[in-house]
Amino acid sequence: TYEGYKWINPDGEERFINKSFYAYNEASFNAAKANAGALYNPQNFRVVDGTPSGWLKIKTWEGEKWLNLDGEERFINQSFYAYNEPSFSSGKANAGALYSPQNFRVIDGTPSGWLKIKTWEGDKWVNLSAEDTGIEFYVEATAYSVEGSPPHERITAFGIDIGKNPNIKLIAVDPKVIKLGTKVHVEGYGDAIAGDTGGAIKGNKIDVLFPTEKQAREWGRKKVKIKIMK
């Protein structure tokens, strides 16, 4: 070819799949399942295509479908809750705590956005398409103010100039727990933007911005409930 030597297999490759598996209409765990949603039993299939992430296109009685026997390694770039079943009303995994952004192996999914992942507790479920909305948890919130600070100290890690927006509702967060730019409702404070970070802000801790030192002292430090919003 114009790229050099390449390989083709016009007729596909006969392969024995040695375990039961789901097949999907597309190379995605969120695609609709083939075979009326039932598992295929171990048997021979003709493989006609594939992807570097482990997906194989096979010929079935319904036409060409996709499977991924070993799952797909994926970096989840946000904090999230995992659930025992593909339902927000099922019990939370990880002792009810958020998982931090990290690599997970995805092994199944649903068209409604749920993904089954392998965790230290076994197989659990996550729904990233809905994960940014409605999460509530408690944090330690410490008030601060940049009143009287030099101009360069009024620019946040998210690029917001507090000097030009002195009354902005803003919190500093651990970006491993709350993504910068996320809208957050803080109990007793209101709707705010996660717009800054800080060396001492780790885990479930936030700093809450006030226009004046007096207002910051009045708030002090307290435990409050926050809700992640879109």
In the chain the domains, ranked by start, together with CATH numbers, are: 13-67 (2.30.30), 72-131 (2.30.30.40), 136-229 (2.40.40.10)
Q: What percent of the chain clears pLDDT 90, i.e. is strictly above it?
A: 62
**pLDDT recorded at residue 126:** 92
**pLDDT recorded at residue 133:** 54
Q: Report pLDDT digits (tens) over 19-28.
A: 999 999 999 9
Q: Report pLDDT digits (tens) over 133-175.
A: 567 788 899 999 998 888 888 899 888 999 888 899 999 998 8
**pLDDT recorded at residue 127:** 86
Q: What are the DSSP calls for the chain, one per residue? A: -TTS-----TT-EEEEE-S-B--BSSSSTTSPBSGGGPPBPSEEEEEEEE-TTS-EEEEETTEEEEE-SS-EEEEE-S-B--BSSSSTTSPBSGGGPPBPSEEEEEEEE-TTSEEEEEETTEEEEEEHHHHTSS-EEEEEEEEE--TT--GGGGB-TT--BGGG-TT--EEE--TTTS-TT-EEEETTTEEEEEEE--TT--SSEEEEE-SSHHHHHHH-EEEEEEEEE-
Q: Report pLDDT digits (tens) over 109-142.
A: 987 788 999 999 999 999 877 554 567 788 899 9
